[in-house]
Amino acid sequence: MRFDTKLVHEGQRTSSGHGDVIPPIHVAVTFDQFAQDPARHYYARGESPTREDLEACLAALEDVRFALAFSSGQAAAAAVLSLLEPGARVVASDDVYGGTHGLFELCRRRGVHVRQVDLSDAEVVASALTGSVDLVWVETPTNPLMKIADIAAVSAAAHRVGATVLVDNTFASPALQQPLAAGADVSLHSTTKFIAGHSDVLGGALVLDDPDLHRRLAAHRTVVGGVPGAFDCYLVHRGLKTLSLRVARQVANARAAVEALVASPFVGAVHYPGLPDHPQSGLAARQMSAPGSMVSFEYLGDVAELMRGTTLFAAAVSLGGVRSLIECPASMSHRSVPRDVRLRAGVTDDLVRLSFGIEDPLDLVEDLTAAMAAASWAERSVAR
């Protein structure tokens, strides 16, 4: 089966005898041990049929054997980091989601060394991946600066020093980027975003092919309990079926708006891997089937006014849903990151991040253009 068919057909076990065309939602949290042959389900913190249906689909989308669904992207990320012993060494992208910065801080407090570097720079990768490294944490495209790391090159360098490679694939989704096929070991998704796609359910997932790592992560999840309930799994799986259709429209909308942003006198640098002057545009074109629908840009006026001025873009964190969103990373998604760390990574106070939904592109461009023109930008000169 090809990708778009898998979205609809994988993980669709129907055994009720009613002829359901989608699987029923299994709400039981405990399972009669003598009513199953063979006994597969015991207690829903460990295993649950509706979660397994979602996991079967997620694994199939990346052509591997295993997926583990979690209650949030953060719970999935925390599971991987929890396997590290004090003294372990992690090399990670410098520009990552604010919550990932928080998880790295927790790691540092328990004696795990986390070094954040610019993994979009091949020379930095070569010098950082030497000696003993246990885990390489790649976010690509990065949140919010849209930097692109070469997954194949980073994975090859990491494997030479015996490190496991995790790619946070949240910004691209499996529809646009396949990290495991490129050589990574684990694909992490906040399924809250593109995979579920409607901003109405939290979820996370780890997708991988290594049976030993899968066993350790599954055992950890069962003990800690960061599992999604059956209804949440159903919502994520329902959203997933339209992933390709939604993403195609979202990318088209982003492209249309990027053109308007580049032409606007109110806008400085525009960060979008589909732009020819993006530093890794060639790599993005090879590694991703499209440049995605996340865009950030430097706004030369008052960011708060701009966010208040848009009518179709909700001023909200998160991303990947059917409704377009606008946010200021410095004061919203990355506000928990210490200012000096944030500025060192390049996340300035005037950076605006857009997540494109599936609305009509003309409406989005008109709304954004009107809001930019209306917003006050008095004290900033527009020298372009």
Catalytic residues: 45, 97, 168, 193
Question: In this structure, what is the dihedral angle of CA atoms 360, 241, 51, 56, given to the nearest 10 degrees?
Answer: -140
Rule CB under 6 A: choose which of 41, 49, 68, 72 binds ligand PLP: 72
Q: Mark the segment that binds ligand PLP (CB under 6 A) among 22-30, 54-62, 166-174, 339-347.
A: 166-174
Candidate list 48, 82, 140, 143; residue touching ligand PLP; CB under 6 A:
143
Cβ 1 to ligand PLP shortest distance, Å? 27
Q: Which of 170, 178, 287, 310 binds ligand PLP (CB under 6 A)?
A: 170
Tokens of 104: 């790295």
Closest CA to 127 of 97, 161, 104, 150: 161
Beta carbon nearer to ligand PLP, 289 or 318: 318
Residue span binding ligand PLP (CB under 6 A) among the ranges 67-75, 106-114, 239-247, 375-383: 67-75
- List the interface residues with ligand PLP, window 347-376 (CB under 6 A): none
Taking the least distance from each CB to ligand PLP, the nearer of 142 and 280 is 142
Q: Cβ neighbours of residue 244 under 8 Å, at least 6 residues apart?
A: 3, 4, 7, 175
Which residues, at least 6 apart from 100, have a Cβ–Cβ distance to it below 8 Å? 77, 92, 137, 139, 168
Report yes or no: 148 and 280 within 8 Å, Cβ to Cβ. yes
Nearer to ligand PLP, 194 or 266 (CB): 194
Between 138 and 371, name the residue whose CB sits nearer to ligand PLP: 138
Task: Determine the size of the site formed for ligand PLP (CB under 6 A).
Answer: 15
> For ligand PLP, which residue of 23, 174, 204, 228 counts as binding (CB under 6 A)?
204
Q: Which residues between 319 and 338 bind ligand PLP (CB under 6 A)?
A: none
Does residue number 192 form part of the binding site for ligand PLP (CB under 6 A)? yes
Cβ atoms of 356 and 325 within 8 Å: the answer is no
Shortest spacing between CB 318 and ligand PLP, in angstroms:
6
Among 66, 137, 171, 194, binds ligand PLP (CB under 6 A): 171
Give the range of 41-49, 66-74, 125-133, 215-223 binding ligand PLP by CB under 6 A: 66-74
**Site residues (vs ligand PLP, CB under 6 A):** 72-74, 97, 99, 139, 143, 168, 170-171, 190, 192, 202, 204, 318
